Amino acid sequence: METKVFNKDEVAQAAALIKAGEVVAFPTETVYGLGADATDPKAAEKVFQAKHRPADNPLIVTVAGPDMVAQFATITPAAKKLMDAFWPGPLTIILNILPGKLSMVVTGGLQTAAFRMPANSLTRQMISLAGRPIVGPSANISGKPSGTRPEHVLHDFDGAIAGILDDGPTTVGVESTVIDMTVTPPAILRPGKITPKLLAPVIGEVQSDHHKVGAKETPKAPGMKYKHYAPSAQVVIVDHPADFPAALKWAEQNGQPFGVLATDDLLTDVPSAVPTYSLGRDLTSATHNLFAGLRWFDLHPTVTVILAEAFAQEGLGVAYMNRLNKSAGNDHFDPDQH
Ligand code: TXA
Ligand code: MG
């Protein structure tokens, strides 16, 4: 199939494809998503197939606004507060669903579903025009870094999906915060730009211990059970800038071709023959560039090791390190052992 690229003047064509049960990739402020009619199990099924996604990993229901959520789930007063404070924006809210309103294909058989109203106005326009919510997992082959640019989406899905709504690179760079409002206190299942510190003034304390899903349960958020965000090369995290000289030495002696994924300050000390990808200047740019960088190294298959810069686990740093740790399978450079 030909994958059509739609620009901002062609949203109606993208919406028509959604209505026809086809898969259309869409931009959000976090990462691109793979959209399909959430009320049509056959359409949602196509998304699982395109992504090679395990069937027990539930999909996000992406809406144009809270009204759309009310058709499918119970909006508790606390959930309403979150919507008022953070929507549209990078917060996905898990709610109890109204029985029979959403297909098992979407919910993975759970009595809950995840709802998200993205900040991207083109996407909200597409959903409004289609007149129904769309499922919206990140636009990447399952296990690979999420797509943050239209070219990433085409790399993974050209010829496999009907279209892509192109709005250039995303801004945040990592997926939305996922909060489960069906438990007390509410639990953060996946860290993102909306941090516990931002949530607390609105709904009080939240649990942010998101590591408790066993391999046999239906995962509460991705990456809890499945390998995630992994490029072909092994990512090795360098915890402190001061460790970089030792890490570079180790990588050179190791003999395997390696690359470096770090901010500009650190890259100035890397020998020019070593392939590098810049994370920009700071944590915000690093988060924005992380998945693009991991994907860039996949296009340079001579590299088998990627030394990657860590950030402190505070604020957005929690989300950055969550994704980086997963991409590395938690492999950290240990200056004492190398
Ligand atoms: O920023 C984002 O959230 C992006 C953009 C495209 O909107 N979407 C995204 O979708 O990251 P996805 O499917 O890759 O990650 C959402 C995760 C799912 O993997 C799933 O594990 C979790 O949210 N989830 C969905 N429904 C759930 C539910 N009912 N209970 C617990 N977790 C759920
Ligand atoms: Mg994903």
Q: Indicate the angle between helix axes 150-157 and 283-298, nearest 10 degrees.
A: 30
222 pLDDT band (50/70/90 cuts)? Answer: very low
The answer to whether residues 164 and 27 touch, using CB atoms and an 8 Å cutoff, is: no
Amino acid (one-letter) located at 95: L
Q: How many CB atoms lie within 10 A of CB 227?
A: 12
* pLDDT (0 to 100) of residue 338: 64
Distance CA 48, CA 202 (A): 35
Q: Give the confidence band of 227 by pLDDT, cuts at 50, 70, 90.
A: low
Residue 116 labelled as part of a binding site: yes
- Given phi > 0 = left and psi -120 to 50 = alpha, else beta, which region is 23? beta
Tell if the pTM clears 0.75, that is, is over it: yes
Q: What percent of the chain has pLDDT over 70?
A: 94
Distance (Å, rounded) from C-alpha 147 to C-alpha 162? Answer: 17
Ligand minimally distant from the alpha carbon of residue 219: 1
Q: Which ligand is nearest to the CA of 145?
A: 2
pLDDT band at 216 (very low <50, low <70, confident <90, very high): very low
Which 3-state string (H, E, C) describes 195-231?
CHHHHHHHHCCCECCCCCCCCCCCCCCCCCCCCCCCC
Q: Identify which of 237, 236, 247 has the alpha carbon closest to the alpha carbon of residue 270.
A: 247
Task: Taking residues 21-39, report their average pLDDT.
Answer: 98
Residue 216's alpha-carbon distances to 124, 147, 164, 187, 220, in angstroms, are: 36, 28, 35, 20, 11
Taken in order of first residue, the domains within the chain and their CATH numbers are 4-203 (3.90.870.10), 234-328 (3.40.50.11030)
Tens digit of pLDDT for each residue in 87-144? 999 999 999 999 999 999 999 999 999 999 999 999 999 999 999 999 999 999 998 9
Does the annotation list 124 as a binding residue?
Answer: no
> Count of residues for the chain?
338
Substitution site in 52, 60, 72, 194 for ligand 1 pocket (most atoms within 8 Å of beta carbon)? 60
CB 114 within 8 A of CB 200: no
Give the pLDDT score at 282: 98
Average of per-residue pLDDT values in the chain:
93
| Predicted local confidence at residue 213, as pLDDT | 41
Average pLDDT over residues 6-28: 98
Which residues are near ligand 1 (CB < 6 Å)?
Answer: 28, 30-31, 33, 57-60, 90, 92, 94, 110, 112-114, 116, 118, 136-138, 175-176, 178, 189, 219-222
CA-closest residue to ligand 1 atom 32? 220
**Predicted pLDDT at 226:** 52
Contact 317, 191 (CB under 8 A): no
Does the pLDDT at position 60 exceed 60? yes
Q: Is residue 109 within 8 Å of 119, Cβ to Cβ?
A: no
**Please, which pLDDT band fits residue 215 given cuts at 50, 70 and 90?**
very low
